[in-house]
């Protein structure tokens, strides 16, 4: 199935109209009341949002037979794990703008080669909302998005980074993952001076592949080099030749197949690359532990809510493809952990209800005791965290991808219904 550009644009226009009718996402206000919480401003929690790059849902040590993520496991076992968490678009930049704006791609309209987000979408980003509500705001790590407005005004501490293997910090050369942790720790230290509650988005580049390094692809601190070395990675599901041959031609010739050649086209390369991907995740896990230790040292750990998420899923040779753009579960499904040290009932709770990346936006605003703009398309997860089991909740969502990938224009829709919609 191959579309010409003209045919693809007509299909997109038609499907966008259909989506407007068929798949409206609920928009709710957050549950906190500003008046009540303003009285308790000094007790407002800090909110640490940690985003890993291309961390797919099943790569948490507590749920996986091989990979080790002890710090993330600790957050999950002391907090809440959302077992059905998805992104509305499985592309880095687009998903990241969705998280900041609370809007799906077809609303914020940002992806590669698109103009920056509009002024209204940018003005309603959660950092703007919480800053206007009395919070300090910080952004550290991977940026690579186009949002209008002044980030130096939006963020009190703004440290955007391009991908690199190492960075210089206080006279030392650090792996970039640890450098990002050090910047996050610097902001936590500075926040002691202001005494204001804060939100910080920590955006790791790991475990994203280094696209120009076709030999090794994934990088991590040297101490992880021998990790998983003696283990044989099992084959990916659906990785047989017949499954690949059954794919439509445009997928067989897509960027997902090109990158499969880089990573998985021999058994030896598959073993090497999957282990390197695992190590890059374990490095993020260690950096999360470093940041958490700083929260403890500064006395903030008991009043800091930590949200951990991946910006999209990832194919590890499923269907003999690589990457994340297509709309299968491997592309869309991500880990999502929320650890609220104030919540004494959440220890190890698992929530089956469907959470989306656009829910994070409302959740952060809600945790800050503020009201989300009516335009947000996600829902606060706070009622689910608080065991409000009768909260009306979605049982499906739409995914949209509109990006030119190797001359093939995709728009794929995927509606997911969980087998178990209960908490």
Measured from the CB atom, the residue of 117 and 203 that comes closer to Ca ion is 203
Which residues on adjacent β-strands are paired with residue 203?
51, 141
Cα angle for residues 287, 167, 295 (degrees, 5° grid)? 30
Q: CB of 407: closest distance to Ca ion in angstroms?
A: 22
Q: CB of 163: closest distance to Ca ion in angstroms?
A: 11
Number of alpha carbons in the 13 Å side-chain half-sphere of residue 207: 32
**CA–CA separation, 332 and 347 (whole Å):** 26
Alpha-helical runs (H) found in 39-150: 70-78, 92-101, 105-108, 119-123, 126-132
Residues forming the site for Ca ion (CB under 5 A)? 53-54, 92, 311-312
Measured from the CB atom, the residue of 47 and 332 that comes closer to Ca ion is 332
Measured from the CB atom, the residue of 128 and 317 that comes closer to Ca ion is 317
Q: CB of 208: closest distance to Ca ion in angstroms?
A: 6
Cβ(315)–Cβ(256) under 8 Å?
Answer: yes
Measured from the CB atom, the residue of 52 and 367 that comes closer to Ca ion is 52
Measured from the CB atom, the residue of 54 and 340 that comes closer to Ca ion is 54
Q: CB of 385: closest distance to Ca ion in angstroms?
A: 25
**CA–CA separation, 310 and 318 (whole Å):** 19
Which residues on adjacent β-strands are paired with residue 309?
51, 336
Q: CB of 276: closest distance to Ca ion in angstroms?
A: 16
Cβ(323)–Cβ(90) under 8 Å?
Answer: no
**CA–CA separation, 289 and 357 (whole Å):** 23
Q: CB of 310: closest distance to Ca ion in angstroms?
A: 7
Q: CB of 391: closest distance to Ca ion in angstroms?
A: 29
Q: CB of 92: closest distance to Ca ion in angstroms?
A: 3
Cβ-based burial of 205 (10 A; exposed 0-12, middle 13-18, buried ≥19): buried
Measured from the CB atom, the residue of 89 and 380 that comes closer to Ca ion is 89
Measured from the CB atom, the residue of 107 and 312 that comes closer to Ca ion is 312
Measured from the CB atom, the residue of 53 and 156 that comes closer to Ca ion is 53
Exposure b/e, 156-170, CB count within 10 A at least 16 = b: bbbbebebeeebeee
Q: CB of 283: closest distance to Ca ion in angstroms?
A: 16
Backbone angles phi, psi at 101, to 5 degrees: -100, -20
Compute how many other C-beta atoms are within 10 angstroms of the C-beta atom of residue 142. 26
Strand pairing report for 315-316 and 322-323: antiparallel
Nearest position to Ca ion, beta carbon: 92
Measured from the CB atom, the residue of 92 and 255 that comes closer to Ca ion is 92
Question: How far is CA 15 from each of CA 122, 251, 381, rounded to the nearest angstrom?
Answer: 26, 20, 29
Measured from the CB atom, the residue of 179 and 325 that comes closer to Ca ion is 325
Q: CB of 233: closest distance to Ca ion in angstroms?
A: 21
Our separate counts of H helices and E strands in the chain read 16, 15
Tokens of 401: 């991808």
Residue length of the chain = 423
Tokens of 321: 């493809």
Compute how many other C-beta atoms are within 10 angstroms of the C-beta atom of residue 319. 23
């Amino acid at each position: 199935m191959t579309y010409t550009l003209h045919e693809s644009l007509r299909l997109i226009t038609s499907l966008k109209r259909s989506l407007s009718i068929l798949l409206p996402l609920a928009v709710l206000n957050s549950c906190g009341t500003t008046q009540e919480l303003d009285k308790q401003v000094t007790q407002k929690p800090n909110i640490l949002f940690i985003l890993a790059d291309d961390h797919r849902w099943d790569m948490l040590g507590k749920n996986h037979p091989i990979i080790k993520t002890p710090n993330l496991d600790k957050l999950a076992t002391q907090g809440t794990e959302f077992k059905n968490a998805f992104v509305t678009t499985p592309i880095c930049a687009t998903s990241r703008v969705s998280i900041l704006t609370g809007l799906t791609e077809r609303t914020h309209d940002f992806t590669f080669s698109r103009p920056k987000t509009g002024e209204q979408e940018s003005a309603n980003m959660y950092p703007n909302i919480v800053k206007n509500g009395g919070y300090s705001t910080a952004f550290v790590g991977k940026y690579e998005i186009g949002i209008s407005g002044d980030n130096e005004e939006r963020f009190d501490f703004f440290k955007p980074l391009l991908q690199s293997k190492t960075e210089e910090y206080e006279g030392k050369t650090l792996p970039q993952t640890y450098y990002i942790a050090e910047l996050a720790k610097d902001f936590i230290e500075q926040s002691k001076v202001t005494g204001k509650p804060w939100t910080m988005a920590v955006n790791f580049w790991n475990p994203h592949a280094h696209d120009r390094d076709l030999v090794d692809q994934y990088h991590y601190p040297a101490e992880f080099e021998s990790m998983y070395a003696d283990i044989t990675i099992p084959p990916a599901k659906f990785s047989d030749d017949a499954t690949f041959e059954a794919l439509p031609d445009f997928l067989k010739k897509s960027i997902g197949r090109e990158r499969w050649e880089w990573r998985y086209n021999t058994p030896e390369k598959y073993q090497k690359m999957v282990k390197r991907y695992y190590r890059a995740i374990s490095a993020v896990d260690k950096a999360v532990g470093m940041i958490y230790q700083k929260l403890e040292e500064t006395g903030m750990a008991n009043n800091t809510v930590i949200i951990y998420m991946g910006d999209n899923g990832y194919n590890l040779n499923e269907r003999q493809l690589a990457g994340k753009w297509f709309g299968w579960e491997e592309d869309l499904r991500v880990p999502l952990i929320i650890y609220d040290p104030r919540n004494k009932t959440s220890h190890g709770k698992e929530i089956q209800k469907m959470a989306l990346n656009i829910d994070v936006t409302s959740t952060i605003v809600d945790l800050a005791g503020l009201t989300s703009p009516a335009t947000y398309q996600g829902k606060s997860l706070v009622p689910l965290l608080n065991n409000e089991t009768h909260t009306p909740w979605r049982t499906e969502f739409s995914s949209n991808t509109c990006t030119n990938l190797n001359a093939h224009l995709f728009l794929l829709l995927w509606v997911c219904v969980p087998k178990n919609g209960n908490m």
